[in-house]
Structure 1
Amino acid sequence: MSKTLVMNFLNEAGKKAAIRVNNVKEDVTEAEVKNAMDVILAKGIFTTSGGDLKAKDSAEVTDKNSTDLSVK
């Protein structure tokens, strides 16, 4: 099972922009995600076609399950 953290921000144009982090640890906490998002905003290291990221919008961890099928 692979977990992906999706952090959604609002940019200067008021549009949503997402940053995805693959293979996050099983026990990632809300506090850790909030802190990471705060650091991303404070450092200003990401920009979008709508300008710099300006505010946190939402975040979620998604699980991806896959099943291998024998088709040979």
Structure 2
Amino acid sequence: MSKTLVMNFLNEAGKKTAVRINNVKDDVTEAETKAAMDVIIEKNVFTTSGGDLKSKDSAQLIDKSTSEFNVK
């Protein structure tokens, strides 16, 4: 099973922008996610067409599982 962390920010234009991180560790916490989002904003790591990221909006940890079928 694969986990993806989706961190949503608001940029200078007030539009939502998502940063996705694939294959995060199984025990990632809400506190770690908040801290990472704070660093991304503080260090101005990303910019968007609507300007720099200005605030945290939301975050989700998504679990994905894949079942393969032998169809040959």
TM, length-normalised to structure 1: 0.98
Whole-Å separation in 1 of the counterparts to 2:44 and 2:3: 26
Aligned to 2:62: 62
Aligned to 1:21: 21
Aligned to 1:40: 40
Segments of 5+ residues of structure 2 without an aligned counterpart are none
Which of structure 1's runs of 4+ aligned residues deviate more than 4 A? none
Once the two structures are superposed, residues 47-70 of structure 1 have per-residue CA deviations (whole angstroms, 9 ceiling, x without a partner) of: 000000000000000011110100
- Sequence identity percentage: 72
- Aligned-pair RMSD on alpha carbons? 0.4
In structure 1, give the amino acid aligned to 2:58.
Answer: S
The structural deviation recorded for 1:30 is 0.4
